[in-house]
């Protein structure tokens, strides 16, 4: 949700800011803007509706000089996407320019006060209210900008990461955060700031993650100063980034999404490296083993997540209940945080989040923490807010995911959940040796099997042409493949805007079967498992009503292929890991349908990769 970038140093700021915005565009892409202080100390703000490229086009003939600047790419919350609502916003005097990621919840109350004091507003945003408010505090209290920000932050309710330029102080950027992420890169005589490290990595690998309710005072040529809201100086913790630039490029693929789909055999290798050993016939997930007692004594596990991560959580529920015999509940983080859940000290709460920044998941973690439960994080982004807020955890190590629709993060999450379940099951002695061994062998074999699935690319591409203009889809699956069906439907609706619903195959009789006719494609996941025969009956029910069935089957399954209209064969695996295999053809099908329709696959309308507002 919104990307922010800043630069202060010896180089021209504009090219660095534009490049940074493009790297952050996955966070929001309905409008963009930049503020630059030029060499004559003029504060120039340029904004444009649309993509960062539209902004570049619109400023082509303008003065973009200056070695200090801030920039923003927006995902609209307050006010429609247009030039006026785009950030940065000037203060009333036009001396300050501010960018903001997050939501100021009490902005209406503050706006009323400012209106009474004859402030005028040019936009419908909460952000413009904030910049006017900071200037109002600065003037009425006669304090410097840093102090004004501290006072303002004490009064605003909500989430924010902000950066501000002051025309009267051309050698300084002030930045602050609460709930929304903010990273500062430290170069030679220069500083970079951004919502995440992706715009920073090509300049420096030294970063500081600003913590909640901290303010960074970045002065040209001076060491950075971090203060809390009560003005007490904090010692900055400098971390070294591990990602590299090539991970952020498309590597010859037309879209990040298809690159990330194809990366999965390798990302699973990276995810299990050093954790799954076929030689030792063991799984070592250190986050779990370091807190063995917690898992041995756990009475219940609650998994909180949103979106695709929630689908991975449903698979985790199957794995943990099946293998560890611990009751598991899966909750949408957004519901959990507001429903006064019953939590005990013997509960373990697992938070799953690719970005590690999803506002609802972070809030669920904070709520669970307050109850004394042990919190375990499963994140991709190293050093992210959720990774830092949890008591322990495991990274999925699949590398940066840029396509807004999650693919490799999903299979990485399921892989970590598989290793977590195996580790706990072994410690609790709830798994037979024979099954433990065969699951380890199978998990290690998944990357090769994924490669085989990816070889079906052309078949799925051809199939996509038949269904490009369908208006509705149903995805069916049972057991471990039910969450895979939900995920397949989510992929399709996210990127192709075709209405798609995932359903447990047997539940279809209780409603969705009424929708079945010759126009309704049904994707049935019917790989061999405990309830394979039952799934076949469900497919027969669809065929009896003239539905068109695309079946995902285990290699060599003539039975289903004879009933279904189209078949995609995938390698056989154990049902525990079925979604790791089933997910890939469904990702490819959604991808090619969206490409055929001419949709913006990596940046679908209305969506954002990192949802830092609730």
Active-site residues: which are they? 2, 609
354 belongs to the binding site for ligand G6P (CB under 6 A): yes
The nearer residue to ligand G6P, 172 or 406, going by C-beta atoms, is 406
Interface region with ligand G6P, contact rule CB under 6 A, candidates 37-45, 289-297, 348-356, 499-507? 348-356
The nearer residue to ligand G6P, 515 or 607, going by C-beta atoms, is 607
State the binding string over 422-451 for ligand G6P (x if CB under 6 A, else -). ------------------------------
What is the token pair recorded at 504? 């447990």
Helix (H) or strand (E) run with residue 280 in it: none
CB of 263 to ligand G6P, least distance (A): 16
C-alpha–C-alpha distance, residues 91 and 145, integer Å: 12
Closest Cα to residue 517, out of 474, 574, 567? 474
The nearer residue to ligand G6P, 306 or 520, going by C-beta atoms, is 306
Interface region with ligand G6P, contact rule CB under 6 A, candidates 26-34, 75-83, 287-295, 605-613? 605-613
Pairing of strands 472-477, 521-525: parallel
Q: Give, as ranges, the residues between 252 and 311 that touch ligand G6P (CB under 6 A).
A: 306-309
The nearer residue to ligand G6P, 67 or 309, going by C-beta atoms, is 309
One residue of 355, 394, 423, 528 binding ligand G6P per CB under 6 A: 355
CB of 315 to ligand G6P, least distance (A): 14
The nearer residue to ligand G6P, 176 or 381, going by C-beta atoms, is 381
Helix (H) or strand (E) run with residue 502 in it: strand 499-504
Closest Cα to residue 521, out of 489, 563, 551, 550? 550
C-alpha–C-alpha distance, residues 534 and 508, integer Å: 13
The nearer residue to ligand G6P, 531 or 601, going by C-beta atoms, is 601
**Residues 6 or more apart from 351 whose CB is under 8 A from it?**
303, 304, 305, 333, 361, 362, 364, 365, 368, 375, 376, 377, 378, 379, 386, 390
Name the residue with tokens 């285990």: 554
CB of 143 to ligand G6P, least distance (A): 38
CB of 65 to ligand G6P, least distance (A): 37
77 belongs to the binding site for ligand G6P (CB under 6 A): no
CB of 416 to ligand G6P, least distance (A): 13
**Residues 6 or more apart from 246 whose CB is under 8 A from it?**
none
Interface region with ligand G6P, contact rule CB under 6 A, candidates 75-83, 164-172, 404-412, 417-425? 404-412
496 belongs to the binding site for ligand G6P (CB under 6 A): no
Length reported for the chain: 614
One residue of 609, 612, 613, 614 binding ligand G6P per CB under 6 A: 609
Interface region with ligand G6P, contact rule CB under 6 A, candidates 117-125, 268-276, 320-328, 354-362? 354-362
407 belongs to the binding site for ligand G6P (CB under 6 A): no
483 belongs to the binding site for ligand G6P (CB under 6 A): no
353 belongs to the binding site for ligand G6P (CB under 6 A): yes
C-alpha–C-alpha distance, residues 46 and 90, integer Å: 11
180 belongs to the binding site for ligand G6P (CB under 6 A): no
One residue of 551, 611, 612, 614 binding ligand G6P per CB under 6 A: 611
CB of 102 to ligand G6P, least distance (A): 16
C-alpha–C-alpha distance, residues 349 and 328, integer Å: 10
Residue 266 in contact with residue 447, Cβ under 8 Å?
Answer: yes
The nearer residue to ligand G6P, 14 or 591, going by C-beta atoms, is 591
The nearer residue to ligand G6P, 132 or 609, going by C-beta atoms, is 609
CB of 354 to ligand G6P, least distance (A): 4
The nearer residue to ligand G6P, 382 or 563, going by C-beta atoms, is 382
Residue 158 in contact with residue 125, Cβ under 8 Å?
Answer: no
CB of 261 to ligand G6P, least distance (A): 14
CB of 332 to ligand G6P, least distance (A): 11
Count of other CB atoms within 10 angstroms of residue 138: 23
Name the residue with tokens 């609802």: 360
404 belongs to the binding site for ligand G6P (CB under 6 A): yes
For helices 408-428 and 578-596, angle between their N-to-C axes, nearest 10 degrees: 170
491 belongs to the binding site for ligand G6P (CB under 6 A): no
H-state helical runs in 142-202:
145-155
The nearer residue to ligand G6P, 164 or 416, going by C-beta atoms, is 416
C-alpha–C-alpha distance, residues 520 and 205, integer Å: 51
CB of 610 to ligand G6P, least distance (A): 6
C-alpha–C-alpha distance, residues 569 and 11, integer Å: 55
607 belongs to the binding site for ligand G6P (CB under 6 A): yes
C-alpha–C-alpha distance, residues 82 and 72, integer Å: 14
C-alpha–C-alpha distance, residues 442 and 128, integer Å: 55
Residue 317 in contact with residue 347, Cβ under 8 Å?
Answer: no
Name the residue with tokens 């309830």: 531
CB of 243 to ligand G6P, least distance (A): 16
What is the token pair recorded at 97? 């320019």
The nearer residue to ligand G6P, 402 or 567, going by C-beta atoms, is 402
Q: How many residues at the interface with ligand G6P, by CB under 6 A?
A: 15
Q: CA distances (Å), 193 to each of 25, 150, 164, 201, 287, in order?
A: 15, 19, 11, 11, 31
406 belongs to the binding site for ligand G6P (CB under 6 A): yes
Interface region with ligand G6P, contact rule CB under 6 A, candidates 41-49, 190-198, 355-363, 470-478? 355-363
Q: Give, as ranges, the residues between 309 and 338 that touch ligand G6P (CB under 6 A).
A: 309
Q: Which residue is nearest to ligand G6P (CB)?
A: 307
C-alpha–C-alpha distance, residues 17 and 20, integer Å: 5
One residue of 180, 361, 423, 603 binding ligand G6P per CB under 6 A: 361
DSSP string, 406-454: -SHHHHHHHHHHHHHHHHHHHHHT-S-HHHHHHHHHHHHHHHHHHHHHH
Binding-site ranges for ligand G6P (CB under 6 A): 306-309, 353-355, 358, 361, 404-406, 607, 609, 611
């Amino acid at each position: 949700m919104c990307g922010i970038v800043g630069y202060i140093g010896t180089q021209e700021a504009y090219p660095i800011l534009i490049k940074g915005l493009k790297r952050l565009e996955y966070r929001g892409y309905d409008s963009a803007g930049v503020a630059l202080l030029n060499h004559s100390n003029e504060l120039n703000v340029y904004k444009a509706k649309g993509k960062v490229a539209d902004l570049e086009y619109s400023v082509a003939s303008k003065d973009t000089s200056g070695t200090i600047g801030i920039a923003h790419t927006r995902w609209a919350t307050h006010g429609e996407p247009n030039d006026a609502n785009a950030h940065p916003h000037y203060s009333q005097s036009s001396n300050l320019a501010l960018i903001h990621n997050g939501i100021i919840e009490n902005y209406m109350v503050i706006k009323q006060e400012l209106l009474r004091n004859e402030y005028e507003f040019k936009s419908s945003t909460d952000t413009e209210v904030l910049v006017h408010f900071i200037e109002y505090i600065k003037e009425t209290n006669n304090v410097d900008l840093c102090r004004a920000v501290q006072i303002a932050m004490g009064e605003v309710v909500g989430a924010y990461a902000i950066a501000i330029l002051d025309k009267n102080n051309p050698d300084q950027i002030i930045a602050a955060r609460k709930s929304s992420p903010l990273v500062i890169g430290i170069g030679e005589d220069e500083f970079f700031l951004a919502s995440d490290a992706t715009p920073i990595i090509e300049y420096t690998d030294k970063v500081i993650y600003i913590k909640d309710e901290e303010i960074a005072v970045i002065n040209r040529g001076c060491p950075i100063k971090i203060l809390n809201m009560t003005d007490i100086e904090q010692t900055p913790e400098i971390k070294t980034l591990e990602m590299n630039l090539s991970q952020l490029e498309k590597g010859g693929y037309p879209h990040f999404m298809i690159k990330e789909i194809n990366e999965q055999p390798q990302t699973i290798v990276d995810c299990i490296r050093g954790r799954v050993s076929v030689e030792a016939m063991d799984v070592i997930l250190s986050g779990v083993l370091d807190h063995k007692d917690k898992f041995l004594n756990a009475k219940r596990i609650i998994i909180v997540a949103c979106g695709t991560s929630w689908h991975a959580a449903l698979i985790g529920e199957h794995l943990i209940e099946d293998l560890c015999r611990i009751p598991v509940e899966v909750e949408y983080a957004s519901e959990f945080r507001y429903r006064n859940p019953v939590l005990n000290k013997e509960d373990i709460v697992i938070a799953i989040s690719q970005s590690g920044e999803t506002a609802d998941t972070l809030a669920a973690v904070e709520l669970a923490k307050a109850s004394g439960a042990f919190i375990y994080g499963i994140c991709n982004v190293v050093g992210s807010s959720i990774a830092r807020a949890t008591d322990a955890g495991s990274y999925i190590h699949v590398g940066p995911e840029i396509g807004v629709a999650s693919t490799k993060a999903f299979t990485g999450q399921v892989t970590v959940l598989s290793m977590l379940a195996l580790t706990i099951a072994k410690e609790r002695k709830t798994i037979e040796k024979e099954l433990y061994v065969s699951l380890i062998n199978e998990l290690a074999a998944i990357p090769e099997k994924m490669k085989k699935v990816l070889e079906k690319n052309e078949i799925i591409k051809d199939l996509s042409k038949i269904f490009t203009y369908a208006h509705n889809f149903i995805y069916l699956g049972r057991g471990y493949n039910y969450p895979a069906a939900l995920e397949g439907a989510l992929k399709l609706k996210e990127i192709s805007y075709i209405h798609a619903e995932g359903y447990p195959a047997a539940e279809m009789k209780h409603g969705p079967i009424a929708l079945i006719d010759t126009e309704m494609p049904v994707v049935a996941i019917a790989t061999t498992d405990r309830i394979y025969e039952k799934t076949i009956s469900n497919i027969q029910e669809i065929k009896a009503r003239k539905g068109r069935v695309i079946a995902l089957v285990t290699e060599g399954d003539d039975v289903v292929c004879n009933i279904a209209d189209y078949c995609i064969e995938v390698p056989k695996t154990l049902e525990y890991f079925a979604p790791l295999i089933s997910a890939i053809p469904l990702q490819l099908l959604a991808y090619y349908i969206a490409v055929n329709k001419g949709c913006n696959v990596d940046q679908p309308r209305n969506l954002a990769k990192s949802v830092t507002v609730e």
